[in-house]
């Protein structure tokens, strides 16, 4: 398939840690996604007001707004976007909450690059 025919899937990533964003970008470089990264959930929400994305990947533990809180608000403006959550091993998240928000996959830090790519390929249209 010629990439010029179908636009590249757009992936929006939020993490308060800039180095994580940088590493994720690096890992997904060859995956052919358009990648948007944000360190602040508020900024990402503003972007989502004006832009359609295919998938949203967010860290859970962030100052000001948790990943789940962010996903809940993001789902209001972009309900069609696939939602994914990155967590450390340390925070326990009730699966009911994940289900309620339609989180398709939980990625734990430190992540395995191959598995991450595989997961994204699976969930993205």
Residues that bind another protein (CB under 8 A): 17, 19-20, 22-24, 26-27, 61-64, 66, 69, 88-91, 109-111, 113
CB of 80 to another protein, least distance (A): 27
Is the CB of residue 73 less than 8 Å from the CB of residue 86? Answer: no
Using alpha carbons, list the distances in angstroms from residue 113 to 52, 87, 119. Answer: 26, 15, 10
Residue 64 carries which DSSP code? S
In the complex, the smallest distance separating the C-beta of residue 27 from another protein, rounded to whole angstroms, is 5
Report the C-alpha gap between 97 and 12 in whole angstroms. Answer: 21
Rounded Cα distance between 87 and 122, Å, is 19
**3-state SS assignment for residue 25:** helix
Place of tokens 């994305």: 53
Shorter beta-carbon distance to another protein: residue 42 or 51: 42
Least Cβ distance, residue 57 to another protein (angstroms): 13
Give the phi and the psi of residue 36 in degrees, each rounded to 5.
-115, 130
């Amino acid at each position: 398939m010629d990439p010029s025919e179908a636009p590249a899937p757009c992936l929006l990533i939020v993490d308060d840690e800039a180095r994580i964003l940088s590493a994720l970008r690096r890992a997904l470089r060859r995956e052919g996604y358009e990648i948007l990264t944000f360190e602040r959930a508020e900024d990402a929400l503003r972007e989502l007001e004006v832009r359609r994305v295919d998938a949203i990947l967010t860290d859970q533990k962030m100052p000001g707004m948790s990943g789940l809180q962010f996903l809940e608000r993001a789902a209001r403006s972009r309900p069609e976007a696939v939602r994914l959550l990155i967590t450390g091993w340390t925070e326990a998240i009730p699966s009911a909450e994940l289900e309620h928000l339609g989180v398709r996959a939980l990625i734990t830090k430190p992540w395995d690059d191959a598995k991450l790519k595989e997961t994204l390929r699976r969930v993205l249209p």
